[in-house]
Structure 1
């Protein structure tokens, strides 16, 4: 047996060595495959990192480009000169809009700062806000109508207004400009019938209810419609010495009307009167009767009439109706050092209060009120900056809140 093993040992040794060599080769192949796999995985990971880096760089560049464009836009609007203010409208005590020569700006902090939202050509003549989001503006000759549905962040051309009457909307689609009505947001307008010999603009509170002032030989008549102008009924008639030169109407409800009758002018003085009804014209309250030496007796009154409440100043300023009880009205005295004043009634016109403060500015006086307590007064001038004053106690005290830029000098 020993001899047999000794004879076969060399053969067994050879077979063992061959087997061992094969195992080493398989192990090397496996290791190489693992290395190759590792290289592939590392290459893929590196590629992913490069892709992420490229995407990240593109995103950064895109964001930087967006920011750059945003900054350019903001800079362009910021560079707009907010000079003479020509229109104002508040949405609430803190927010509202002003307009001027080719620009519209908004405040969110009660006039402490302004953000220019629109730049174009032409003067902003009127602003009206239905709420904090829906706002309109009339622009320049031809009365282009601009509109915004997002608080003024974007403005588009909504159409044209057909006249220079008081613009107001009762919904996003329905609005009025004097006796013209739109039901498509200002794209098209349809006239509503008004009486003959109407002085100034008729006023429609809604589709059915409207008011108009007419002038006879020596008589003023206030007329009312409740059927969209198809028929008109006389609700007030007054003898007058001074014929009307204009009439202005505002309303705070279907049965509510504030009628301003403007008479003669002379020596920078204008005579005017203000009447109020809250029951559809069944009864009337004389709110103001401002007779002047230069303009003659207040419309609706005789030459020797001196009784009744008077607004400060020698000519009327803007009329702003807050509700059935509360109305503010500016007054101007062009012969005075501080021409602008403001007065008010808070009991439907039974009593009138003249404020104690007066303000600079020989241009147009502008007024806007969010409620009975919070209001804005803007005084303008052709050679001095417009100035904004605010009140939070119904006109008793006013604080200068903002001074706009000086008017551009003619080259």
Structure 2
């Protein structure tokens, strides 16, 4: 998540933090009523965010034909205020997870969501168990959602800078909207782009594959009219990459091959907007082969020694990366607080996939799932330890 955008979100959250309140946020409260309600006082030492909500949600998901409830995304705007979504539900908290409230329950199976403030949000979601993703929007914190088009979208992710301006991404293309998602325009990216990220309409990054040669990381400062190569990484069979940027801090996850449930990849980081780069992670595996690139890396394995997940950049120096290994049923997080000069892979939790959301250098959330459960974890020490706040148990359903 771009932390220039995240700072804007936190600022908006401070102005609207009372939208999510224990007694005032839900389908029955209008945005104006919710905003007028006082924010609850965080409770110290709370051990669970359930308080009966889990049982209530699972009532509609029982029986042989029902799909167990599972988290697919988590997003926090501050240490106290955030949301988690999954198949047919969206829950929220305003006291750091001591209490969660049901915000939405219905047909939408959330795949990914983005809230630039505490009121406006967008999500990629399927109708029940359908394969197609639609772009949906909320203007009341998530209680009600509107489908913006009857046509499915090809977006793999969306990110909004504010209530009107945002980006939609798939591996080959990047789109921009300035009317809240009502219409979209294609941003010109280099040929053979396989991953892009924009921090503003003019400033963006792209991963370009050169078949048989490797990867190039390109940068534009004029909205895609011109692109400049900032990094060249040799690799015989380039696939695709993911980019993350916040001011001068930039990271590129470059994927190698796959095999035997193993993934090879390299993580490159820059602290000076791409002028120079550090090879932070170079994970080679027996199934995936060598990692893209050459030269010494800070570490040889990423979090959970598995597939890289999403990444969160904090300020000018800190970056978190999720990782998961289905074969070992582990989900973990790795981090640097000095632009990749050192890297720590923290202790993993059970799961075969997960997504993270961090709000500062130490506090964050992880939504993970395994065969028997789906759990929200919170950390206050940069992932060194995790505490379960909310868990759906699948056994016996």
TM-score, normalising length: structure 1: 0.73
Q: Say if 2:346 is the partner of 1:360.
A: no
Do 1:211 and 1:225's aligned partners in 2 also have CA atoms closer than 8 Å? yes
CA apart distance, 1:174: 0.3
Counterparts of 1:206-285 in structure 2, within 5 Å, are 206-216=200-210, 217-241=212-236, 243-253=237-247, 255-285=248-278
TM-aligned CA deviation for residue 151 of structure 1: 2.6
Asked whether 1:130 is paired with 2:116, we answer yes
- Local SS of the residue matching 1:313: helix
2:379 equivalent among 386, 391, 400:
391
Partner of 1:51: none
Note closer, same or farther for the CA distance 1:307–1:328 as it changes in structure 2 (3 Å cut): closer
Q: Does 1:331 align with 2:323?
A: yes
1:171 corresponds to 2:157: no
Query: Take 1:223 and 1:230, find their aligned partners in 2: how far apart are those partners?
Result: 12
Match of 1:286 in 2: 279
Deviation at 1:156, TM superposition (A): 3.2
Indicate if the aligned counterparts of 1:161 and 1:186 stay in contact, CA closer than 8 A.
no
CA distance in 2, matches of 1:287, 1:270: 16
Q: CA deviation at 1:408?
A: 8.6
What does the per-residue CA deviation read over 1:180-212, in whole Å, with 9 as the maximum and x for residues that have no partner? 00010011111000111112x221211111111
Greater RCO (Cα-Cα under 8 Å, separation 6 or more) = 2
Give the superposed CA RMSD. 2.7
3-state SS in 2 of match to 1:390: strand
Which ranges in structure 2 are unaligned for 5 or more consecutive residues? Answer: 1-26, 30-52, 62-67
Contact 1:209/1:225, CA 8 A, preserved across alignment? yes
What is residue 15 of structure 2 aligned with on the other side?
Answer: none
1:300 deviates by 1.4
2:193 match: secondary structure: coil
Distance 1:307 1:116, change over 3 A: closer
Q: In the TM superposition, what is the alpha-carbon distance from 1:70 to its structure 2 partner?
A: 6.0
Q: 1:376 aligns with which of 354, 365, 371?
A: 365
* Alpha-carbon distance change, 314 to 267 in structure 1, aligned in 2, over 3 angstroms: farther
The equivalent of 2:179 in structure 1 is: 184
Q: Which has the larger displacement, 275-284 or 183-192?
A: 275-284
Q: Does the residue aligned with 2:99 lie in a helix, a strand or coil?
A: coil
Q: CA deviation at 1:405?
A: 4.2
1:195 & 1:400 partners in 2: Cα distance?
43
Indicate conservation of the 8 Å contact 1:252/1:321, yes or no.
Answer: no
> Shift of residue 235 of structure 1?
1.0
Determine the C-alpha separation between the residues in 1 that align with 2:132 and 2:233: 36
Which structure's CA Rg is the greater one? 1
Q: Say which SS state the counterpart of residue 251 (structure 1) adopts.
A: strand
Query: Which residue in 2 is equivalent to 1:152?
Result: 142
Relative to its length, the structure with more strand (as a share) is 2
Q: Does structure 2 conserve the Cα–Cα contact (< 8 Å) formed by 1:97 and 1:127?
A: no
Match of residue 390 from structure 2: 402
The structure whose residues are more often helix, as a share, is: 1
Conserved in 1, the CA contact under 8 Å of 2:121 and 2:141?
Answer: yes
1:317 aligns with 2:308: yes
